[in-house]
Each structure stands twice: as structure tokens, then as C-alpha cells.
Chains A and B, each alone.
Chain A
Amino acid sequence: MRAVVQQDPFDFGAEAARFAADRRVSGAIVTFTGVVRDVAGTLEAMEIEHYPGMTETALTAMAEEAVTRWSLEDALVIHRHGRLAPGEMIMMVATAAPHRKDAFEAAEFLMDYLKSRAPFWKREVTSEGAGWVAAKETDEDALKRW
């Protein structure tokens, strides 16, 4: 189990390959990657603030809960902070389980919790100005299924 918060980009291919290597009991590996998207065509950067200390604790607790609840062989969470350009990868999760249902569900659980319970705040810098991204009610609702 690994939970990392970092400013630097991560190598998605290398991380996924390393995570998938040498599995014996896991028949299913799921990966998800979140990317900075430019919906209106005006985005210059996405700035991500976080709470050093609490972030690491929160990510580790989420990954541990996922491993326990879905009997995962392993879980990986990487989340970046700092200034990111459109198209850059923000975060990734990976889960390894004997069967795909558990691997998919655990990955969705991690993504839902990262959205609303990990102390990150996104600020969009556009050609028309900058502003904090508001949390969505649908993201909060998504937690109810867990």
C-alpha cells in the first residue's frame, strides 16, 4: 500500500507497470488517472493547494480502508499539488484484487473520497481571471453509496 502527495509529475506507465508486477493472488488490476481538463478553452493552469501533514494522513487512511474493505492485495494513490497545465495528470489510483468487481469498486471508492475528503483545493487560472473551484453536491452525494 502506497499513498503519495507530490509536486512533481509522475510516470503513469512506470507506476502502473510497477504496481502490476509480481502479482500472484490478484487477477484484476484497475488504474484510474485524473487529468486537468480545459472545458471552456480558456484554462491556463490549475493550481492545487493542500494541507501538508493532513493530506498524507488522509490518503493513507483511505488506501488502508480500501485494502481492508475489498480485501485488496495492494492499493496505490498518487496525488499532485502545485501548478499544473491543461492535459497534465493530477492523480492516479491503482487497486489489485483477486476479482475485477472488488478492484473496480475499491478504485471508485478511492476516487470518490479523494474528491471530497482529501484536503486539496483547486484554483483555476483562466485568460479571464482566476477562481476557486466550488465543491459539487453530487460529489458529496457520491460518498453515500459507501
Chain B
Amino acid sequence: MDVLYFAWVRERIGVPRETVDTDAVTVMDMVEELRAREDRYAAAFADISALRVAVDQQLADFDAPLSGVREVAFFPPMTGG
């Protein structure tokens, strides 16, 4: 699965995107997997209330299922306009 990071999430993790091999059922399961990997992930995902997630380029919740999903993106609340 392609996992993308934007803004300070990208800076904390150190890459804009990567391929993640995962059996995670939901977004939150994947967050737990990533947190357990390395400190930089634990730091980026320390407070998920400060994060937003998109699943296949649509805004989603952290309990969204990942079955059949190709792309997940994590980022802070958006500041457009």
C-alpha cells in the first residue's frame, strides 16, 4: 500500500511517501503498526487528534477499513484558502 505524508508529518517521518506492507484492517491498526516501527513514526503519530487521514484521496476517519485500499495519506488539519 502507498502511504503518503504531508507538511510536518512528512518532515517528522522524513519521507514524502513509501510503500508499506501491511495486513492492517483499519487505518488505526496501521497507525499502531507504524508507531511500533521507529521513534520517528511514534513521534509523528503521538497525537492523532492533531492528524487527518485520506483513504484513496478521500477524507476518512481513523476507523476506516483498508480492504481494497491503494493509497493512505496522513497530514495535519488543512490550511488552504
Complex: A79 Cα to B6 Cα, angstroms: 18
Binds B, one of A22-30, A96-104, A111-119: A111-119
| B78 close to A120 (CB less than 8 A) | yes
* Chain A 108-132 interface 0/1 with B at a Cβ cutoff of 8 Å (1 = within): 0001001111111111000000001
| A121 close to B57 (CB less than 8 A) | no
Say how far B9's CB is from chain A's closest CB, in angstroms.
Answer: 9
Complex: A117 Cα to B59 Cα, angstroms: 8
A116-B77 contact given A51-B57, A57-B57, CB 8 Å threshold: yes
Q: Across the interface, which residues of B come within 8 angstroms of A49, CB to CB?
A: 6-7
**Segment 45-62 of A: residues with Cβ below 8 Å from B:** 49, 51, 53-54, 57
Say how far B13's CB is from chain A's closest CB, in angstroms.
Answer: 14
The verdict on A4 contacting chain B, using a C-beta distance below 8 Å, is no
The verdict on B54 contacting chain A, using a C-beta distance below 8 Å, is yes
Q: How many residues of A are in contact with the other chain, CB < 8 A?
A: 25
**Segment 1-52 of A: residues with Cβ below 8 Å from B:** 34, 49, 51
Complex: A114 Cα to B43 Cα, angstroms: 28
The verdict on B75 contacting chain A, using a C-beta distance below 8 Å, is yes
Say how far B31's CB is from chain A's closest CB, in angstroms.
Answer: 18
Complex: A121 Cα to B57 Cα, angstroms: 16
| Cβ contacts A to B, 26 pairs, < 8 Å | A49-B6, A49-B7, A51-B4, A53-B57, A54-B54, A54-B57, A57-B57, A57-B58, A91-B80, A111-B81, A114-B80, A114-B81, A115-B79, A115-B80, A116-B77, A116-B80, A118-B81, A119-B73, A119-B78, A119-B80, A120-B81, A121-B79, A122-B79, A122-B80, A132-B7, A132-B8
Binding site for B on A (CB under 8 A): 34, 49, 51, 53-54, 57, 79, 90-91, 111, 114-123, 132-135, 140
Query: Known contacts A114-B81, A118-B81, A120-B78; can you find 6 more A-B pairs with CB under 8 A?
Result: A51-B57, A79-B80, A91-B81, A115-B78, A116-B78, A135-B77
Binding site for A on B (CB under 8 A): 4, 6-8, 54, 57-59, 73, 75-81
